Amino acid sequence: MLYCPSTGEVVKVYQFVATFQFSQYSYGETTKNMKIDEWINCNYHMFECFGEFTVRLVCDNLKTGVVMHPKNGEIIHTDTYSDFGNHYMTAIMPAQIRKLKQKGNVRSGSE
């Protein structure tokens, strides 16, 4: 939640946080929603900030960019997110369940 002292308004916000695994560089951005357009913009801004892009993105609990996540088989991403990954030649992968090692870099960088 974000509080505006001048108006007294409380607004729900979302925090996008990303960390490059080896350099430990982190990027954060606050948005009003996590719809697909905002999600893509956050990813684009992250690449722009780092000045480069990665060969793979590992996303934790991503509902915005996923159409279907079957127990067995490939995850089906939205067309927009797939196009984004294809444009940057980046594989988009989910963090594995109960694999905290894949989530640790971001979680330690956002505290």
* 75-97: pLDDT as tens digits: 889 999 999 999 999 998 887 76
Q: Dump strand ranges (E) for the chain.
A: 2-3, 10-11, 14-19, 26-31, 56-59, 66-68, 76-77, 91-94
pTM of the model: 0.78
pLDDT at residue 100, rounded to an integer: 52
Whole-angstrom Cα distance, residue 76 to residue 99? 21
Q: Give the 3-state secondary structure percentages of the chain, helix then strand then coil, rounded to 5.
A: 30, 25, 45
Cβ pair 15, 38 in contact under 8 A: no
Domains and CATH numbers, the chain: 2-109 (3.30.420.10)
pLDDT at residue 99, rounded to an integer: 53
Compute the average pLDDT of residues 1-28. Answer: 88
